A = this chain, B = another copy of it.
């Protein structure tokens, strides 16, 4: 089924929303933990559920290479393959393919690349990406886009955006084609246009010739400055349809998420909480703590005394540092639980502040605390 979205409350540009999919409801603003290979690294589905995750993201690029769509389809889709009964969003694979740089060739048809797994040549057209995402049976699929390089001239950004718009139409046609039967989920279009607000608005206008159950802002979190990112959001988001969910792809740090929610964004994904966890970088109300610091060797305190996650309730910094030093799997697990608890708790706080109409003061205090801790420039 096509996801449906309703706005429950507003606070300035920010919205409290409900996104209803075939596998359940997502309260927005929401953060999607990244489950690249059909697993949010180190976590079971029940643990994610317990942390309050309502939706996760799967990577089409990775899953098409390993294990491949037929094996996932034979299980009845990605939900059953990975034993996650709640909503899943899949990306289009475009971002990862473009990151291959020398290993890929782009044409109007799509992209050809050498698999980093086994070197075979793989093709990814908009239609291919839809076939894979339909096989995965995700609740939200993403159109294939041509990811604009950064930095890019206005001319490069325009050409890339225009190709993305042609690919968006092909993605849409393939995803919703009548003979395929009703698709398992809905397809989101992606606004491109680099750092140029005029191109962003042209991209939005082009997308709105078609019906989408949601729209994403792509091509950010690619190395631009915070000023550039916020300027794109401030120029673009007010023009996006108020009735559709807005997904800012690949963002980001806690303060980036807060800034984007303040500007009307509803959905986020980022590898940061999970990847940082495995590297011992732990989010706390007082900034990021690096558990590898020798200063924690005999520290009996939890990561964050104000945190009530499983890790902070039961284990000391000294124990976590020991696990990290010994490369113990449990260390990655406990750190991931803590960081996801932080991110999911952040979204819960944002929703509470929007509902209470106190987002501005909440965000001001949040950013001041982060700044005092040296976490924000």
Contacts and interface: CB of A to CB of B under 8 A. Distances in A.
Interface of A: 37-39, 41-44, 66-67, 70-71, 74-75, 81-83, 297-298, 300, 314-316, 318-319, 321-323, 325-326, 328-330, 332-333
A126 to B, nearest CB: 26
Contact of A75 (B38, B44, B319, B326): B319
Contacts of A328: 37, 39, 41
A29 to B, nearest CB: 27
Return the 7 tightest CB-CB contacts between A and B, nearest first.
Answer: A42-B329, A67-B322, A39-B330, A83-B314, A37-B326, A71-B298, A39-B328
Contact of A297 (B67, B322, B326): B67
Nearest to A70: B298
Given A66-B322, A66-B325, A298-B70, A75 B41 contact: no
A161 B153 CA distance: 80
A62 to B, nearest CB: 8
Nearest to A321: B67
A319 B81 contact: yes
Contacts of A74: 298, 300, 318
B333 A329 contact: yes
Contacts of A318: 67, 71, 74-75, 81
A323 B332 CA distance: 16
B82 A319 contact: yes
A39 B319 CA distance: 10
A43 B82 contact: no
Contacts of A315: 83
Contacts of A325: 66-67
A326 B314 CA distance: 30
A322 B37 contact: yes
Contacts of A322: 37-38, 66-67, 71
A91 B63 CA distance: 44
Given A38-B322, A75-B316, 14 more contacts: A37-B322, A37-B323, A39-B328, A41-B330, A42-B329, A42-B330, A66-B322, A67-B297, A74-B298, A81-B316, A81-B319, A83-B314, A329-B332, A329-B333
Residue from A75, A300, A314, A319 with most neighbouring chain B CB atoms (10 Å): A319
27 contacts: A37-B328, A38-B322, A39-B328, A42-B329, A42-B330, A42-B333, A43-B330, A44-B333, A66-B322, A66-B325, A66-B326, A67-B297, A67-B321, A71-B297, A71-B298, A71-B322, A74-B298, A74-B300, A75-B316, A75-B318, A81-B316, A81-B318, A81-B319, A83-B315, A83-B319, A329-B329, A333-B333
A211 B42 CA distance: 46
